[in-house]
Structure 1
Amino acid sequence: MSGHHQEFQRGPLGTIAEAAESPVRILLAASPERNGEAWEARLTRLGFPEVLVATSGQETLNRAQAFEPELAVVDLRLPGRPDGLATAAELLRRHAAPVVFLGDGVDEITLDHARALEPYGWVFRPENDHELKLGLETALARLAAERRLGLLERQWAVTLQSIGDGVIAADLEGRVTFMNAMAEHMTGFGEADALGRPLTEVFRIINEFTREPAENPALKALREGRIVGLANHTVLIHREGFEIYIDDCAAPIRDETRKPVGVVLVFHDVTERRRRERELRWLNRLHATLGQINQLVVRVQEPESLLHEACEACVKHGQFPLAWVAWLDPADRTLKPRARAGKAADVVNTLAVRLPEQGIGSAGDPLVAAFVSGKPFVASEFPENPWLDASLRVGFRTVGAFPLRFGGEVAGLLVVHAREFEFFRMKEIRLLSEAAEDLSFALDHIVMEKRRREVEEALKSSEARFRQIYEQLPVPYHSLDAEGRLLDVNPAWLELFGYGREEVVGRSVADFMAPSSAERFGKLFPEFRRTGVAKGWEVEFRRKDGGTVPVLVRGVFVHDRDGQPTHTHCVLHDLTDLRLLERQQKETEMILRQQQKLEAIGTLASGVAHEINNPITGVMNYAEIINDQLPEDSPLREFVYEIIRETQRVATIVRNLLSFARRDQSSFEPTNIRDVVEGTLSLIRTIIKKDRIKLEVDVADDLPLVRCRGQQIQQVLMNLMTNARDALNEKYPEYHDDKIMRVAVRRIEREGRPWVRITVEDHGPGIPPDKQERIFEPFYTTKGRTKGTGIGLSLSMGIINEHKGLMYLESEPGQWTRFHIELEALGEEVPPEQINTDPDV
């Protein structure tokens, strides 16, 4: 029987007694030692309110005369005469009352006599509410079914009972008219309950993977008038909610005139086949687990990590809900958890299983059995055992224990739990045994390697002679073994890098270096070991707090009498202050070079402006002369006006370029931000147009004046617009509808005061969150060395801070970036003569 069927039989069957028109009358004949009053209350709680309890056979028969029981529950241990068997036989003869036997503590001969009475059920653990209720409800279900069935229906049932498939018939409206026992069993609906219901309500099917309702084949057969098969991966939803994998087909039922009068649906359980498919998947997972453990054996060189990661592999790759390692504590001969992974690990957190002096003990504990025998042991039927009971309560129905050997002797167990009943079969046991053997080999190897290192370290006699030097030297000092592992460090070393001695001794010095330095150390160390001298390596060490420290390492290698290198003495010089001075010098030089470039640009711009202004002025003057000589109605005047407009535009661009390039030494003056924005756009608009960037400008009309250095604000805007242009060209090298730069200026309020906000937005690639925090740092750039110096935004931030304003950004990676500049505006009326009307700005 499939796992789903077991779950159906053992799971709650609902409240059959409650579903009846009136409560079922149950007569309980129980031994006095069972406490009849408690049983009456207990059965009422379980959903059987009409119960009459008798404590002897004669009392049971006497009370049955008036009570007329519908179901008799008889204790086979009933004392006196008549005993339980005789009482049950008499109840059947007099009242035809079906019997359920309480069969705990009864010998096999009595059970054989009881079976001859064909009871409706058995309860072998009456103290278990679930089993008691299951036994009674099973008997009541059988009783109810027999009452409903007529002679004709019995004949059909006998016929259909020989069919291993479920059969459901429905009328033309899709309502159930018949179903056999297998259909009842697989759907959870009794025939009486299902009759007249819509077929889709009784026969509920879904797709295994999408979980969406599947088309009912019976309705499709009615609609199309032909035989219809079921789609693959169909799951039948039992009334109790669990699932059964099925195949089926449906065909229309026709009368003698071939006219459809209904439909019949035939389906069968393929859960077993699916179970085998799941078993194959399980084996694949176990193979993956074994492969992962094989990798751990090669990679992990620490016992605790190896055992913990092995448990993790069983949970992650083998998909076991819980895996752990039990290890022998020789002090008290108990098995205790050493590593664990998975859900409900608290089941074993405080576990201590004591081994018996000999044999496996009387409890039949699977851990004891596997440890003592040295062979795998699996169990699904747990004896009374506290930790196994706790495991069962959290849904782990099977446990397997696989010996781990250390030094040839069993020292521990790999223990895995499964939710499936009787999960472990020979293939699973073999694969998990292989995994345990691999772990045993690895543990032996790790310990042997560890002992070898301990012997080598014990031979380093020079350690004591240099201990005082280590402790007293004011400079960082360390000693390495021939493999580059730290033998010792002095307090100055620990203080510089922030570690404790126990955190570093025995580990490779490369573990405390930056990756690039560790790689360089790996190349230099063999040469150091060969020559015996390290004249000066510059490497970066990692501090415990995550920072790095540049150091210069000098040292010598000590050799033994045979000329073999044994250990080093190395002195470390902290280069942090030196590197800081070098960085500051570099930053100063770069800023000076940038300023020199700007001054050179200013000088060049002045010369270019002079050279351009002279011919432009001549062109403009000649155009004015021509205009004065032309008649009023001359068609040439339109061309003359166009010459004058274009020369004026060129003059404005040259003037703005000159203003932008020259060094601003002006004071803070009331300025119209609209003029600053327009001046900046006049310089960059042609370039933007050439790059096929759509420029959107939105400047509010109600902008207040701002006291600022207009040329500096223009410099900031130019930097932001240039960055936006670069970002758009990076994302869209050619034309694109979303290649947009947007410049907006708005009046805002801050704490009741007027401010002006300037926003430069682009629809470029955006700025990742980890780079947004550093975007205003000097010399930090996202453009690459050939496209940016990394000082533009830093200088811009400095200018805005000098104006006591705000500058910040918003960005959605892959979508857009917005830079905002906010400057406090003038609230009072400003006299016209104080307003900066410099056309250069």
Structure 2
Amino acid sequence: MTIISGKSILLVEDEAILALYEKNQLEQGGYQVTHVYTGENAIQLVTRQLHPFDLILMDIDLGKGLDGTETATQILNFKEIPIVFLSSHTEREIVKKTESITSYGYVVKNSGFTVLDASIKMAFKLFEANELTKSKKEHLETVLHSIGDGVIATDKAGKIIQINPVAEKMTGWSHEEGLGLQINEVFHIINVKTRQKVENPVEIVLKTNSVVALANHTVLIAKNGLEYQIADSGSPIKDLNGDTKGVVLVFRDITAEYNVQSKIAKQANMLDNVLDAVIGTDFNQIINYWNKAAEKIFLWKAKEVIGKNIAEVLKSKYSHHSNQEVIETVHQKGSFIGEATLEAKDGSFRNIEINLVLLNDETELPTGYIFVARDISERLIALKQIKESEAKLTQIIESAMDAIISIDSSKRIILFNGAAEKMFGYESNDMIGKSLDSLIPESFRNQHDKHIDHFAETGVSRRAMGALGEVRGLRSNGMEFPIEASISQISVNGESLFTVILRDVTVRNISETKIQKLLHEKENILKEIHHRVKNNMSSLFTLLTLQAKSQEDQSVQTILYEAAGRIKSMIVLYEKLYHSETDNSVLIQDYFPSICTEIVSIFPKKVDIKLDILHEPIELNAKILSSLGIILNELITNSIKHAFSDISKPEIILKISRDRNYLSLEYSDNGIGIPESISFENTPGFGLQLIGMLTDQMEGKVKIQRDERTKIILELVI
């Protein structure tokens, strides 16, 4: 009886309960089982080669996505591995479909663990099959050189003179029917692979006068159409003088042996493609099998180690046992699974997981051992990295300044870091397993439970700090305090785990209260300053306007009105900035209509203003608007002072447009226009000089355009 334990099996089953049942049975049977729900996950595991599997148990129906047969096809395209299909179907067409993919087995679900275990073990009995094949091959060679089962005798012309009962059965011809016929009429043979006719051995013997045997893969086709894989030999029948008088043809049915041989060849090929080293020895631990993986892992070629003692080739040091203890365990229990360090051919060492199995013959007597070795060096490195990562994560959590608390689905605490200990006044060991309610004031508990339940239902993975609204905590001394919290959730084995990060905001709330008070005081001070500045500027404007009205000298009056206009532009801008929602900018659609109206209203002369301002809202900062306000004051003042002396209905037109990043201001009036001799480079007055300087300051361009109406065009980059 062959004992197999520790083999790695990938179970592909979409029914969770059934998969759990099958996994438990297999693990109780000594197998290592990995379970996935979908064909896509199975393909990913196998192709990534992160975990080598010895066999796959494949459910045919896998729900959505790939079914079992499609998954098996893709896996076998990547890697040769035994696949046993599991299904509740027994329809012939389904079974036939799986056989076209792989023929390692088809097990009907609920057939029992005995059937399943037997099907699995068929894939792992290569060594016993090899031993059986050797024995049968020796017997077959003896039979091939003896009379055998079927005998047909011919004369020297190749005509049949005798057929024995076994030959009658295999050829379908009776002795009476075949007597006198040519051998080719009764003994019809072809090549099993090419299906081409094979030269009859009787004819060869008659030509060569020597004993001949059939080539491999020869098939005998009987009279009724049945086919037999045969082995035969032809020998000349000689008289006393040594002359050939005929031929005796001896053959036997080796169909069963041929099938076994084919199966063994497939299994040998399978073991040569597995990732685990498979080593076979006799009972004295002399190596008689060494697969490709063993060559790759231990660097010894099979031809170098066959016939040597395994202890001489692989120096082993087991983790917790001596070599003698391992052998004694195998003899007592039938197998041993453990870890060892083995030395390879180049002197380097491999960390190996070993499964050592005792092989018995049909009479239960031990005949040898099978060593299955898996290189776990990379796995041990990965395990070390995981432990180091866990240690770093623990240090990070413990060094965090915020309290970190994790709870399970029943709201029991499973993590309580050092900051949480300081915040709440409890030791971590005292809080593990306790309800989270002990850290929450009673008035908040019901609300908090509802929030956790709702958060779990939403499926959202995390909520940011402060998104939970007002939260309060309860210290060990009974004192309540305000908390800012964030929450996240993950699912582990189907259970939701929640982690909250808490920050004590007691000090911050006090500071914020003080800040709000200071801001309120600052706002009151600013309002008072604004009120005083506005009053002072308004007083200056009023004084200048009154002074202008009291002057009889027209030039002096105009100068005072100009000064009043400049102050008025500042007053309007200041007022707009004060009521603006932004820090230091005002909409041009809000500023220009107001400033035009206010400046015109200063002068006694009534002037009509037409505004054409684009609808797209544009904000400019106070510095630019202040310069534009002064420029507009100079233009309006200049028009009233010089352009309208003989105009009964004076009119000013202001057009503001935009082309990408350029803002254009086009100013004109229906007055007498600006003389050709006057420009921004050559002007006797202060107004145009001021406009030119302010434009340069804004890095803009200004020009005078003399068409039907004189226009001042100002362009700025915004």
How high is the TM-score relative to the length of structure 2?
Answer: 0.22
Rg larger in 1 or in 2?
2
How high is the TM-score relative to the length of structure 1?
Answer: 0.20
Instruction: Tell which has more relative contact order, 1 or 2 (C-alpha 8 A, sep 6+).
Output: 2
